[in-house]
Amino acid sequence: MKKRAKIIAIVSTLCLCLSLFVVGVLSVSTTSLSVTSSLSFKSNGAFVMVDGELRQGATKESATLQSGAPATYTYKGYSYNCIGGAGADKDKPNGTASLENFVDASGATNATWAVGEITFSETLPVAVYHFTFTNYSEMMVVVSVTSNIQELNTDLAGKVSITESFESGSTIDAYDGTTAKTTVYTITVEITDYTTSFENKQLDLTIQFDTAVFNREYFTYNTDGTEITGLSDKYFEDNLSVLIVPGKTESGQNLTIARGSSSSPTFNGLVSPTVILQEGLTSIGIYAFSGCSSLSSISLPESVKSIGNQAFNGCSSLSSINIPEGVTSIGSSAFRDCSSLSSISLPESLTSIGIYAFRDCSSLSSINIPDGVTSIGEHTFSGCSSLSSISLPESVTSIGGSAFYGCSRLSSINIPEGVTSIDDWTFDGCSSLSSITIPESVTSIGMDTFYNCSSLSSINIPEGVTSIGSGAFSCCYALVEIYNYSQLTLDGSSSVGYLGQYALYVYNANDGTEPEHTKISVDGNVQYYTDGTDIIAIGTFGNRNAINEITFKDGTTKINTRAFSSLYALTSVTLPSSVTEIGDSAFRDCSSLNSISLPSSVTSIGSSTFSSCSSLSSVTFGENSQLESIGSYAFSDCESLSSINIPSTVTSIGSYAFDGCRSLSSIDMTNVVDWNNLTLGSYSFKTNASTNAPTVITISSNANIQTVTSKLTSSVIGSSMTNKIKFTNGSTTYVWNGSAWDLQTA
């Protein structure tokens, strides 16, 4: 083939329309398909030929050309009028052929491919349409495919399988004058169900091939022709789906892509979804492809060494990219806002990743940072909301502020030894982060570093940490276990980042020794601790909502003040028979706790012990209960509590013990005989019950009425309980009128 000073290979299009009709009803083992197709081909620049044939077999790999008349099963190009006459070898055009000679002499651009009937059987269930593309151009070409194969009629789903693929990739190397290179594209049709009728079913496939786009005239250049500065008018005239960018000048010098600007990127207006950069290009300049929202695929050559700032910023359709070996730096914001980017491969040669490089790549799910990279800049992965996995090499010594801000699916990360500081907002909003190991090299943790890491359950603070910024652990609601080996005192305050504000257990090992306590697992994922036989008064800094069930070990005798307050998810507590004392507010604000059984060994219930347990509907005491005192507000605001039976051993009920128990309709005190020794605090029986459902205090028929009424005075009942409380003595009922008891008459 005659060489030219310029190769002008524009777009060639091959359209294949196949209609597959079922003849009759599928039998158990065979079915016939009548196949017709329309093949259109337009060559206005690219020296590419296509050969087609139909193969059948048990599998795609074993499918072969079937016996019979060749015209029935094969299609061999067109009636190309190559120089040398109609009988010239279509597979190897005459060396002096022109583009005009390469197509039908009559100018026809369509031909019919008739393949007759295809019979599928259980031994030959697969038909393969096999297309070979041969490149006679002096430059590489690319074959791209547009099809509706994935849009087939859903009633054929599971019965007919249609797949398409390139066997060796879509790129065809240049013709070297001796051997023409090829690529093969196949469409595989397989009948997968021989038990279903296909009568009147039709399968339509439309395939369009676009081949080969290379033309130096698609670009503008600097004065010496060594830099590509933009796209030419000719590019926009031809509306290409695949753009090949030259890597060398016509004289063989390496090209570079010039830097653009935020308002005028180098490839401004690019409409081609596929771009291939040829070998020779050494750098991709600043803003080169910025804002190219149509770009979905790009191939980078091995010659590229650097990717400039903002190079692919805003390429919202770009789904994957392979950075070749040899690239040493990725500029700031290079892939920022590439919202479809789900896969990226970084080379071992990489040493530098700029700030904001992958910010808001919201589809990126994982990435491996190669050895040699020493820093992760600020906002590098900020807003990568799908990022669940990342591996940092030991070479990393610094992690910038907000580096992983808003990575809401990131569940774990390793911080390499050698990192000395974790800057402000680094992991802010990493709501799935459940574990992290801070290396011994870290000395400072910045402001809001772990803010709203709501799944973080445990953390170790190394000995060398000297400062923790404000809000560093704010809103870490699940952080139930903290080991502090630093010299800092963790008290849940803002001065140490609120670390411990939500903790179930904070162990300050300032002297570096291990703790002496018993660790008890709760429901397999959180823990509480005991010292000796007492439950430690832990978690005084706020809410811990990870626990839903607690079963204490035998031997526990005391539950201290606020030990389990504000466990909002707690629904069940099992106390051992060894417990004698439950401290003040021990279970306060456990709003999901629905029942409690107090063993006979319990002698005292502290103030506000079960206050605001709004779901608590059942309180029971063990047989032969030893309970002596019920503290002030002990059951206040237990809005679901409907009844309670006071043990005979009780001698004291504190002030407001049942205040706000709006559903409390029965206080059974029939077991209390010695009312003379019973101490009742202010408003101890003020329940706020409604007049429609008053609280009834049932007392023993043997109780002295005068003694009872002397105890149940206005200071105990309250004027607001008018007509809301009664007490019964045998068959006699008394109603509170606001200041005294009236005998209720029939």
Task: Give phi and psi for 53, each to the nearest 5.
Answer: -155, 160
* pLDDT, position 196: 62
Q: Which residues pair with 38 in a beta bridge?
A: 17, 112
Tokens at 69, concatenated: 């008349």
CATH topology of domain 519-743: 3.80.10
Tokens at 100, concatenated: 């005009």
Ranges 237-246, 364-373, 464-473, 694-703, most confident = 364-373
Residue spans per domain, the chain: 12-211, 519-743
Q: Which residues pair with 186 in a beta bridge?
A: 130, 165
Give the pLDDT mean for 177-194: 79
Task: Report the Cα 10 to chain-centroid distance in Å.
Answer: 43
Model confidence band, residue 214 (pLDDT cutoffs 50, 70, 90): low
**Residue with token string 């209609």:** 19
Give the pLDDT mean for 517-538: 40
What are 277-292's pLDDT values in tens digits? Answer: 988 999 999 999 999 9
* pLDDT, position 534: 39
Cβ distance 137 to 174 under 8 Å? yes
* Mean pLDDT of the residues in the chain: 77
pLDDT at 212 > cutoff 90: no
Higher confidence at residue 206 or residue 95? 206
Cβ distance 571 to 548 under 8 Å? yes
DSSP 618-651: EEEE-TT----EE-TTTTTT-TT--EEE--TT--
